[in-house]
A and B are shown apart, each in its own frame.
Chain A
Amino acid sequence: MNNAVPDNKPVARSRASFDLKTWGPFIALMALAVLGVLINPAFLGLDNLSNMLTRSAFIGIIAIGATFVITAGGLDLSVGSMAAFIAGVMIILMNSLVEQFGPGLTTIVLGIFASLLLGLCAGFINGMVTTKGKIEAFIVTLGTMGIYRSLVTYLADGGTLSLDWGVRDIYRPVYYGNLLGIPIPVLVFLLVAVAGYILLNHTRFGRYCFAIGSNEKVAEYSAIHVDRIKTMTYMLQGVCVALATIIYVPRLGSASGGTGVLWELEAIAAVIIGGTVLKGGHGRIWGTVVGAIMLTMIGNILNLTDAISNYLNGTVQGIIIIVAVYLQRAAWRKSVP
């Protein structure tokens, strides 16, 4: 009886010592970075690195939310349009608040607050329609994706919504500023990643996401609030989109029907490159972070070289996504008999 226990331990340890599934994305990122340095030493410049990380923060923050949704067996295609819609509403709101409160901190704080609330509500709607209506997440979020996109176009009357110049000056540091030399967006990205990591790997909520994504029936028979947890993942996704939007708005100070186009696919790509399983049941936050950085890094490297046209950015990204997933599958096949 007892001898089974010590037998099991060393095996578990030796398996955990090196796991391609875990370290694959990191290795790929390092390889890409080495390639970047070889192509152009300017790649390692502090300016370039901080610029790159700042840019990856939008997709990265959204992708951390997407990691939860996908791990729990869902999918959210609406994040790009949702970002545009939130940005649009936020700008309109802040512009109108200027009349009352002036271009001050109050206006911005209220705008941020509204943005978070909107994200939470949008996620709640996606979650409720998916779980209570028993409709595939793909269909539901395809629908809301169209709705948010058309709403922002409608709000902008087909053109562009611009933030009041006074507000813009005060709001600017949220994107362009830094704390102890670290750009604010990178800082937010890091905080969201740490919080996401703890939530996914060290709380009941995270454990339930894994269980639901693996087998919803088992989760139900384990007395888990399946619908509630799934809805919460969409709400979390909504909040992440709102956070990304809050950082995005001061960058350009405007929003239009073209804002956030294809962000949903970039976010999903980052999640998948990071080793999260698309059909659910297994998620990895640090993988997602690496995936988001990798996607930006590809564009950045192409900018630094003349060897490949910048227009081929999408091609290179596409190849990397497919190769990354292929390698993970190969490793998966090997480790699970």
Chain B
Amino acid sequence: MSTHDQPLLSARRICRSFGQNQVLFDIDIDLVPGEVHALLGENGAGKSTLVKILSGYLSATSGDIHLEGGARRYSSSGEAETDGIVMIHQELALAEQLSVEENIFLGRELRRGPFLDQQAMRKRCRAALAELETRVDPRARVNDLSTSDQQMVEIAKAITRDVRVLIMDEPTATLTEHEVEVLFALIARLRERGVAILYISHKLREIERIADRVTVLRDGRLIDSGPMAGRSKEELARLMVGREISDMYPERSGLASDAPVVLEARNMVVPGAVKQASFTLRRGEVLGFGGVVGAGRTALIEAVLGLRNRSAGEVLRNGQPVALRHLRDAVRQRIAYLTEDRKGKGLVLNMGLRPNLTLLNLRAYCRPLIDRRREEQAFQEAVERFDIRLRTEALTAAELSGGNQQKLLLAKVMTIDPEIVIINEPTRGIDVGTKQQIYHFVRELTDAGRSVILISSEMAELIGLSHRVAVMCAGVLTGVLEGEQINEHEIMQYASGIKGVGVDEQRRA
């Protein structure tokens, strides 16, 4: 036991800056063999940056890393892996067109002479998948697998290596409940085997179950670190979010009790994503949507907007049934949608900022040819209104920071002068300052009598901004919380299907 108390991997005074922006300040962390160390923090707290430094994907601006007391300076993830430090990514990093076994052994294929040893690889691959209790076929193409199966392949890939330090970056985000259980059992076995595990999550219930030790980051600073025993969930939540939670969110605007319903969805069904969901949105209201990733929130909203096909359901705008078959129809109904995938769906990255701004409502800048002066004028107004900070050389959207991209996207959807604004994960990957601006902007929207739907995986955001919170679990809208009900505990209960509509049906299924 005494050897176990010696840290295997330890980091001292780690700092990291991106340009002018420092994201990590003097972080110390120790990973001990046979221990699960949880790393907690809100989005943007610096968790991912820290683990990327530990696993060689990024280098620290300053600070030291020691493995078994010896100084290490990794310049690539390959070097870290040679030392047995393996990371399972939050964003899946698999070659989609290759098979499961080809992925698992990618870059370290077993060989017999000059040829691949297919049999040996298949055998080891099967063993790893069996340990994970998954029915994934080693020969299946990764592209054909569900996201949760892909996540299991990522995990299998990690455990087939001689792993001494295993870093998991939010591994359960896309897993089903059963898979989470299997993963936890595996973590227990790895712990017994003496592997040092660093587990990143902001799901406190998970942390409570598996962590031996916990470190909390906030805004790039180490806030707290120590054994899990003796630390309560509530305390950790408070440490994670910090004091500024009160100034972070503007006070909610008052909502008239007779505010009319501007949008209603009834009995929506989206094949493979939403089983049953109905909701109403009132004038001047912020309706939050909570639930874990994959619960069907985005699918529901995109089906309402006509971006996805639904197999049943009805949408009413101001009480009148409307047929929204394409986003154009939604735009005509003055509904704006900010996608959660800024880079993939929101902005044309290699295009200039002005064309990006006007793309959604280009008609308004044409007479009949595009009037560049009017575009420029709109752009200058947007820069001022949304406080878009232009780096000196920002010519294309790709060159803007995440926060400024989000502001540009916000400005883009506002060009249609919407009555309803639907925002999906408004603050993913953006800094605290910009977050606060966006929260105040949401308040401005409701002050002006517009309505907002807010889909967010950040509990604090939902609690801080919403008048009501609709919670989804596995494709079912399990409940709509109001007033005092809007708290972390209650949202979690509905999000995990312990409480609410459809619980019995799901148990039976």
> Are A and B associated in one complex?
yes
How distant is the Cα of A311 from the Cα of B384 in the complex, in angstroms? Answer: 62
How distant is the Cα of A210 from the Cα of B344 in the complex, in angstroms? Answer: 16
Flag A201-219 by CB within 8 Å of B: 1 or 0 each: 0111001101100110111
Given the contacts A4-B383, A218-B345, A218-B346, A11 and B369 also touching, CB distance less than 8 Å:
no
Asked if B360 contacts A211 (CB within 8 A), the reply is: no
Given the contacts A12-B395, A207-B362, A210-B355, A225 and B389 also touching, CB distance less than 8 Å:
no
Given the contacts A211-B359, A222-B359, A8 and B370 also touching, CB distance less than 8 Å:
no
Verify if B328 is at the interface (C-beta below 8 Å from A): yes
Asked if B350 contacts A281 (CB within 8 A), the reply is: yes
The A-contacting residues of B in range 333-390, CB under 8 angstroms, are 337, 339, 341, 344-351, 355, 359-360, 362-363, 366, 368-370, 380, 383-384, 387-390
- The closest CB in chain A to the CB of B306 belongs to A223
Verify if B110 is at the interface (C-beta below 8 Å from A): no
- The closest CB in chain A to the CB of B363 belongs to A204
How distant is the Cα of A217 from the Cα of B368 in the complex, in angstroms? Answer: 26
Asked if A8 contacts B394 (CB within 8 A), the reply is: yes
Asked if B360 contacts A223 (CB within 8 A), the reply is: yes
Select one of B351, B370, B380 contacting A214, CB under 8 A: B351
In angstroms, how far is the closest chain A Cβ from the Cβ of B344? 6
Given the contacts A204-B362, A207-B359, A225-B328, A1 and B368 also touching, CB distance less than 8 Å:
no
Given the contacts A207-B355, A215-B344, A218-B345, A223 and B327 also touching, CB distance less than 8 Å:
yes
How distant is the Cα of A215 from the Cα of B368 in the complex, in angstroms? Answer: 25
How distant is the Cα of A28 from the Cα of B65 in the complex, in angstroms? Answer: 54
Select one of A1, A12, A203, A282 contacting B369, CB under 8 A: A203
Verify if B392 is at the interface (C-beta below 8 Å from A): yes
Interface residues on A, range: 20 to 34
Select one of A5, A8, A203, A214 contacting B348, CB under 8 A: A214
In angstroms, how far is the closest chain A Cβ from the Cβ of B452? 18
Given the contacts A203-B370, A223-B327, A11 and B392 also touching, CB distance less than 8 Å:
yes
Asked if B349 contacts A7 (CB within 8 A), the reply is: no
Given the contacts A204-B362, A214-B351, A215-B349, A4 and B389 also touching, CB distance less than 8 Å:
yes
How distant is the Cα of A231 from the Cα of B331 in the complex, in angstroms? Answer: 23
Q: Which residues of A contact B (CB under 8 A)?
A: 1-2, 4-5, 7-8, 11-12, 15, 198, 202-204, 207-208, 210-211, 214-215, 217-225, 281-282, 336-337
Q: Which residues of B contact A (CB under 8 A)?
A: 307, 326-328, 330-331, 337, 339, 341, 344-351, 355, 359-360, 362-363, 366, 368-370, 380, 383-384, 387-390, 392-396, 398-399, 412
| Interface pairs (14), CB distance under 8 Å | A1-B387, A5-B383, A5-B384, A7-B392, A8-B390, A8-B392, A204-B362, A207-B355, A214-B348, A214-B349, A218-B346, A221-B337, A222-B327, A223-B331
> Can you list the 8 inter-chain pairs with the closest CB atoms, starting with the nearest?
A202-B369, A223-B328, A8-B390, A223-B327, A221-B345, A222-B359, A214-B348, A217-B345
